[in-house]
Amino acid sequence: MKITQVRNATIIIEFNNSKFLIDPWLMPKDYMEGFDTAVNSQIRQPRVDLPFEIEKIIDVDALIVTHIHPDHWDDFAKDALDKNIKVFVQSEADKKYMSLNGFKDVEILSEKGNIYKNTKLYKTKTQHGKKEVVKPLCDSIGMPYEAMGVVFKAEEEKSLYLAGDTIWCKEVEEALQEYKPDIIILNACAATVLNGERLIMNIEDVKNVIKEAPNSTIIASHMDTVSHLTITRKDLKEFREKESVKNLLIPDDGEVLNF
């Protein structure tokens, strides 16, 4: 297994001889405004450039879009990707969206599992912020609330759990208990909306994952890029040092992790 941290939640997972591109957000630095419903809306995003050219990023076998939010999917990805690529999404609505964008081979992931070549992919549930608070906000601006995580399994590989855009919640705890993943990827910049609610994990959430999965290798992704972040790589590194955490990796953009 090889995991390349590209930028934000955009990663490339090389698993069981297949390359999966996750949540490609490929626009140039400062291309879009900050979200006006979130903190730091005056800061343009992405805050940083891509670490390498788009052609290298899209040289993959399959695409996984965990949800259609504008910091996980954009027109630069739509225009760059081969429309015949295999695409996995979370719902009928997202399948319709991707099909309308020209993609011809779109499949909805299931909690019972889907087979891609010799890899089994399982959809997992999330809470993209506390549902009772964040979903009404999403509904008010016409943005879907739901997101998904994905578990990767194959005989010749360690198991991998991509938690996706979520806070620590019973759904994540249940996924950790059910799948007991060897490697866990967490979106952990604590992106926060104006009412103070977080959309994804903060340091306390990461600590909860570490407590639940002490023998897993945990990777912090979705860092240092969106306007509404409230936790940085520097903060996580300080936590790791202070708490003497041994199983937390915090890759830089462009860094490759081998397992």
In order of 32, 218, 230, the CA distances from 253 in angstroms are 20, 16, 18
- In 3D space, the residue among 92, 114, 95, 119 whose CA is nearest the CA of residue 20 turns out to be 119
Domains of the chain: residue spans and CATH: 2-258 (3.60.15.10)
* pLDDT value for 15: 98
* pLDDT value for 141: 87
100-158 per-position pLDDT tens digit: 999 999 999 999 999 999 999 999 999 999 999 999 989 998 889 999 999 999 999 99
The amino acid sitting at 124 is: T
- Stretch 94-98: mean pLDDT, rounded? 98
* pLDDT value for 184: 98
Q: Nearest-5° angle of CA 186, CA 149, CA 256?
A: 45
- Stretch 24-43: mean pLDDT, rounded? 97
161-173 per-position pLDDT tens digit: 999 999 999 999 9
Q: Is the model's pLDDT at 45 over the cut of 90?
A: yes
In order of 62, 63, 179, 255, the CA distances from 12 in angstroms are 10, 9, 21, 11
Q: Is the model's pLDDT at 160 over the cut of 90?
A: yes
* pLDDT value for 258: 98
Tokens matching residue 177:
């208990």
- When the pLDDT of each residue in the chain is averaged and rounded to a whole number, the result is 97
Q: How far apart are CA 185 and CA 221, in angstroms?
A: 7
186-235 per-position pLDDT tens digit: 999 999 999 999 999 999 999 999 999 999 999 999 999 999 999 999 99
Q: How far apart are CA 31 and CA 27, in angstroms?
A: 6
* pLDDT value for 143: 87
- Stretch 77-83: mean pLDDT, rounded? 98
**136: preceding bond cis by omega (within 30 degrees):** no
* pLDDT value for 34: 97
Reported confidence tier of residue 255, pLDDT bands at 50, 70, 90: very high
* pLDDT value for 207: 98
* pLDDT value for 129: 94
The amino acid sitting at 254 is: G
